[in-house]
Structures are given as C-alpha cells and as structure tokens.
C-alpha cells in the first residue's frame, strides 16, 4: 500500500542533501518479493521509479539491485513504518532511517516518537515537506 515519507535521520550529510528526495512509496508484496514504486521530487520535478527486491535471511529485510537493502525496523502496518535503507557507494556503506505514514497529511505521533527514540544518537534530521509527488502514488 501507500506510504508517505515524513522524516529521515542519518549521520551522513550526503544522504540528506540528495537532489532526488523520496516523497512516497507504494509497496506490493508477492511471496518473498517486494515491489517498490517510488515517487521522487527531483529538483522540483516529479519522477517515479519501480524496483523489485527479494527477502533475505532476516524477516522484513529485502535486497535490491545496486547493493541496496531495506529493513523494516518497526511498524504497526496501519499508521506508520520505520525503515532502515542501506546502500553501498564507493566501497562505503551508508544508511538512513526513514519514517513513513499512510496519510498525506498526518504525521502519526506515536510512530514519530518511536522514530525519534530510535534515531536519538544519529544526529542529523530532515523532516519531509508535504509533497505533491507522493500524491501521484495515492491515485
């Protein structure tokens, strides 16, 4: 289903300054495969991308092409999800912790406090703006 990115935490400044900002995801699970349709804001233009990953040895952890992984850290399935997104770039592993809600408007405070607790030692935060690109996935 639909998820809107509300918050991002990372100890890597690079991860927060990307010109391609994720605004929303549409996730579809089929067996051990996870299809992710992503809506980006790329310097003001909306773009979408579809990638397919497969579940690996840990439940809730998926591997994607390009040395990328997504792990579900916490979710109530109805209102919020906290994901760890890892990628290998130039021989170094980078990761960000992302907070998502089902709603285009609401931030779902219970999940947001869990997100803040989990990322208290991370340091850098970015709260997502309400995005018109995420609305494309909701349709």
What is the residue whose two structure tokens read 């021989």?
91
Outline where 18-108 has alpha helix (H): none
CA pair distance 39, 76, nearest whole angstrom: 22
Question: What is the Cα–Cα distance from 31 to 114, expressed in whole angstroms?
Answer: 29
Model confidence pLDDT, tens digit, residues 30-68: 989 999 999 999 888 999 999 999 999 878 899 999 889
Q: How far is CA 105 from the centre of its chain?
A: 17
Structure tokens at 56: 């690996």
What's the pLDDT at 85? 92
Query: Do the beta carbons of residue 30 and residue 50 sit within 8 Å?
Result: no
C-alpha count within 13 angstroms, C-beta hemisphere, residue 19: 4
- Angle (CA) 45 127 102, round 5°: 80
Residue 132, pLDDT score:
80
Tokens of 23: 């605004």
Alpha carbon distance 75, 85 (integer Å): 15
Kindly tell me the number of DSSP H helices and DSSP E strands found in the chain: 3, 9
Per CATH, domain 2-138 is 3.90.1150.10? no
- Eight-class DSSP state of 138: H
- Where do the structural domains in the chain lie, given as residue ranges? 2-138
pLDDT at 139: 65
Q: Which pTM does this prediction carry? A: 0.86
């Amino acid at each position: 289903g639909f998820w809107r990115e509300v918050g991002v935490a990372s100890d890597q400044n690079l991860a927060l300054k990307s010109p391609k900002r994720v605004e929303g995801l549409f996730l579809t699970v089929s067996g051990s495969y996870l299809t992710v349709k992503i809506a980006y804001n790329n310097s003001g233009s909306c773009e979408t991308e579809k990638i397919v990953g497969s579940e690996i040895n840990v439940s809730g952890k998926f591997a994607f092409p390009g040395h990328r992984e997504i792990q579900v850290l916490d979710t109530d399935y109805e209102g919020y999800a906290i994901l760890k997104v890892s990628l290998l770039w130039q021989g170094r592993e980078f990761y960000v912790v992302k907070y998502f809600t089902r709603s285009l408007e609401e931030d779902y405070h219970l999940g947001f406090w869990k997100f803040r607790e989990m990322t208290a030692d991370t340091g850098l935060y970015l709260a997502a703006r309400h995005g018109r690109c995420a609305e494309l996935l909701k349709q």
